[in-house]
Amino acid sequence: MPFALDETTHIFTDTQSGGRQDVVADDPTDENSIEAIGEHLAEEAAKFRIGDFSDPEAIHGSAMPGLAALKSGFDQIDVELFETATGAAITSAIHLWFEAQTSDHGSHAEHNS
């Protein structure tokens, strides 16, 4: 990732249609992290829209829960990108994916059901 995990937090929030992943700079004045988060999530959202989940697969492994469903159903998933004051957010995905992401990111992640 193009930003330091120990200076950011990934927040995974379940929604009725899937979920929202926010990545925020722990220091709201850290402009470098905020910019890097926005660029990274914009790239990931563009890849997700065409069914490319190679980055999370490289980090979390091909057996990551929810990954196969995302790959096979990517064309039915509406991926949206949002800029926030301290980072960015992507909406979509499925709940198993969020649970696995939260587990793998450890202390740098939160999961809100």
Domain boundaries, the chain: 5-107
Q: What is the pLDDT of residue 38?
A: 96
Q: Which residue has better confidence, 101 or 18?
A: 18
Q: Tell me how many degrees the CA angle 68-71-77 measures, rounded to the nearest 5.
A: 120
- pTM score over 0.85: no
Q: What is the pLDDT of residue 14?
A: 83
pLDDT band at 94 (very low <50, low <70, confident <90, very high): low
Residues in the chain: 113
Q: How far apart are the first and last CA of the chain?
A: 25
Residue 17, CA distances (Å) to 14, 37, 39, 79, 94 in order: 8, 24, 25, 11, 8
Pair 70, 92: CB distance under 8 Å: no
State the average pLDDT over residues 69-91: 89
pLDDT at 54 over 90: yes
